[in-house]
Amino acid sequence: MDGLLNLSATPWAAAANRSGGGGPPTALPGRAPLSVFGVLLLTLLALLAAATFLWNVLVLATILRVRAFHRVPHNLVASMAVSDVMVAALVMPLSLVHELAGRRWRLGRALCHVWIAFDVLCCTASIWNVTAIALDRYWSLSRHLEYTLRVRRCISNAMIALTWALSAVIALAPLLFGWGETYSEGNQECQVSQEPSYTVFSTFGAFYLPLCVVLFVYWKIYKAAKFRMGSRKSNSITPVAPEGLEVKEASQQSQMVFTVRHATVTFQTDGDTWREQKEKKAVLMVGILIGVFVLCWIPFFITELINPLCSCDIPPIWKSIFLWLGYSNSFFNPLIYTAFNKNYNNAFRNLFSRQH
Supply the DSSP string of 241-269, one letter for each residue: --TT-EEEE-SSSSEEEEEETTEEEEEE-
DSSP state of 235: T
At residue 233, the pLDDT reads: 55
- Give the tens place of pLDDT for each residue, 208-249: 999 999 999 988 887 876 766 665 555 544 455 454 444 444
> Within a domain: residue 33?
no
- What's the rounded Cα separation, in Å, for the pair 141 and 257? 29
3-state helix, strand, coil in the chain (%, to 5): 70, 5, 25
- What's the rounded Cα separation, in Å, for the pair 11 and 24? 10
Tens of each residue's pLDDT in the chain, 356 residues: 554 444 444 333 333 343 344 444 443 333 345 678 878 888 999 999 999 999 999 999 888 888 778 777 789 999 999 999 999 999 999 998 887 877 788 888 899 999 999 999 999 999 999 999 989 988 888 787 788 888 999 999 999 999 999 999 999 999 888 888 888 877 878 889 888 899 999 999 999 999 999 999 988 887 876 766 665 555 544 455 454 444 444 444 444 444 444 444 444 444 456 666 767 777 888 889 889 999 999 999 999 888 777 777 778 788 888 999 999 999 999 888 888 777 787 787 777 665 44
- Give the tens place of pLDDT for each residue, 140-173: 887 877 888 889 999 999 999 999 999 999 999 9
> Within a domain: residue 271?
no
Q: Are 290 and 215 in contact (CB under 8 A)?
A: yes
State the SS3 of 17-51.
Answer: HHHCCCCCHHHCCCCCCCCHHHHHHHHHHHHHHHH
Number of domains in the chain: 1
- Give the tens place of pLDDT for each residue, 32-47: 456 788 788 889 999 9
> Within a domain: residue 142?
yes
- What's the rounded Cα separation, in Å, for the pair 341 and 347? 10
- What's the rounded Cα separation, in Å, for the pair 149 and 156? 10
CATH number, domain with residue 164: 1.20.1070.10
Domain extent for 163:
38-233+276-354
pTM equals 0.78
> Within a domain: residue 308?
yes
Q: Are 140 and 147 in contact (CB under 8 A)?
A: yes
DSSP state of 88: I
- What's the rounded Cα separation, in Å, for the pair 161 and 169? 12
At residue 82, the pLDDT reads: 96
Nearest to 87 by CA among 288, 328, 338: 328
At residue 274, the pLDDT reads: 63
DSSP state of 273: P
> Within a domain: residue 16?
no
> Within a domain: residue 13?
no
> Within a domain: residue 242?
no
> Within a domain: residue 10?
no
